[in-house]
């Protein structure tokens, strides 16, 4: 039996598939969020050094991990779109960017809220904080470039090139900032190297998995919108039951 491996690489078929897949990611995400945050806030013990304020890491760490990971996935999709000229890959890259920027922002915001009671300052020019901020700038540059080019094909290709250049530059930026920081010797406080308590680990992993599933669900939802927007003039979009319904209501 011949399998058409590329069947779902076409926006036409992927639109339906994505719609069916969203609940499978969205519901587990919601459930794991509740479980993870419940363990994090009510079950996990109070930290000996940082008291209650440490609990923000249950959101902060997953957000930071995903903000970096999403950039790599985005650049990967962008590269696929640029090399093989597949429309869906470019759409996926475009759909991932706002979520990545959101996580970078949450990571910075929650980090500032944690830093105030711990370090006594909202912002410290620590290597990680600085590189996270630059990562947010890279996301914003990507989104701005994509938004300012009218022709979607050119926008895809131009922003793909930017994402690839950015991903080559990310490690360079990270190490520059790290060395810059050690040269200046800022007032960084390192977290004590003790192993984490079991309940804390469970909470952290539950929220991480929840964020992960959320990223997948929201990206699929967004890519569906992008497909509809770009293919608005095609017959198959006009034949969709939800589109027909809306059109019928409008006319």
Partner 1 sequence: MNKLSLMGLFGLVVRRDLLLAMRRRADVLTTLIFFVMVVSLFPLGVGPEIDMLRKMASGVVWVAALLASMLSLPRMFSADYADGTLEQMMLAPQSLSVLVLGKIVAHWMLSGLPLALIAPVLGLQFDMSAPALWTLVLTLLLGTPVLSMIGAIGAALTLGLRGGGVLVSLLVLPLCIPVLIFGAGAVDAVTSGMSVASNMSLLGAFMLFALVFTPFVAAQALRISME
Name the site residues for partner 1 (rule: CB under 8 A): 134, 137-138, 140-141, 144-145, 148-149, 154, 157-158, 161-162, 165-166, 168-169, 172-173, 176-177, 179-180, 183
Nearest approach, Cβ of residue 115 and partner 1 (Å) = 22
Cβ–Cβ < 8 Å for 89, 80? yes
3-state class (DSSP) for residue 2: coil
Q: Smaller CB distance to partner 1: residue 61 or 68?
A: 68
Which position has the token pair 């960017």? 97
Nearest approach, Cβ of residue 157 and partner 1 (Å) = 4
Nearest approach, Cβ of residue 148 and partner 1 (Å) = 5
Compute φ and ψ for 51, nearest 5 degrees: 50, -135
Q: What is the rounded CA–CA span in Å between residue 56 and residue 203?
A: 11
Q: Smaller CB distance to partner 1: residue 2 or 172?
A: 172
With 0-12 CB in 10 A as exposed, 13-18 as middle and 19+ as buried, what is 79? Answer: middle
Compute φ and ψ for 47, nearest 5 degrees: -75, 140
Q: Smaller CB distance to partner 1: residue 28 or 152?
A: 152
Nearest approach, Cβ of residue 124 and partner 1 (Å) = 17
52, 87, 68: which is closest to 200 by C-alpha? 52
Q: What is the rounded CA–CA span in Å between residue 244 and residue 73?
A: 34
Nearest approach, Cβ of residue 236 and partner 1 (Å) = 27
Q: Smaller CB distance to partner 1: residue 48 or 183?
A: 183
Q: Smaller CB distance to partner 1: residue 22 or 140?
A: 140
Which position has the token pair 């996580």? 103
């Amino acid at each position: 039996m011949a399998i058409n491996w590329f069947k779902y690489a076409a926006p036409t078929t992927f639109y339906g598939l994505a719609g069916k897949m969203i609940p499978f990611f969205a519901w587990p995400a919601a459930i794991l969020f509740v479980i993870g945050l419940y363990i994090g806030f009510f079950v996990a013990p109070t930290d000996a050094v940082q008291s209650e304020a440490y609990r923000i890491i249950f959101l902060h760490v997953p957000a930071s991990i995903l903000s970096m990971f999403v950039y790599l996935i985005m650049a990967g999709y962008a590269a696929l779109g640029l090399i093989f000229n597949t429309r869906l890959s470019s759409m996926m890259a475009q759909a991932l960017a706002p979520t990545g920027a959101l996580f970078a922002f949450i990571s910075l915001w929650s980090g500032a809220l944690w830093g105030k009671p711990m370090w006594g300052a909202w912002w410290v020019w620590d290597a990680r904080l600085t590189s996270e901020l630059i990562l947010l700038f890279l996301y914003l540059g990507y989104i701005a470039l994509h938004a300012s080019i009218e022709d979607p094909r050119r926008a895809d290709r131009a922003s793909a090139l930017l994402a690839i250049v950015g991903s080559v530059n990310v490690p360079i930026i990270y190490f520059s900032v790290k060395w810059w920081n050690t040269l200046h010797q800022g007032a960084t406080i390192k977290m004590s190297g003790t192993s984490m308590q079991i309940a804390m680990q469970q909470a952290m992993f539950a929220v991480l998995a929840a964020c992960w599933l959320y990223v997948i669900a929201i990206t699929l939802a967004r890519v569906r919108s992008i497909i509809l927007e770009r293919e608005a003039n095609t017959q198959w979009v006009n034949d969709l039951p939800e589109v027909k319904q809306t059109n019928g209501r409008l006319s």
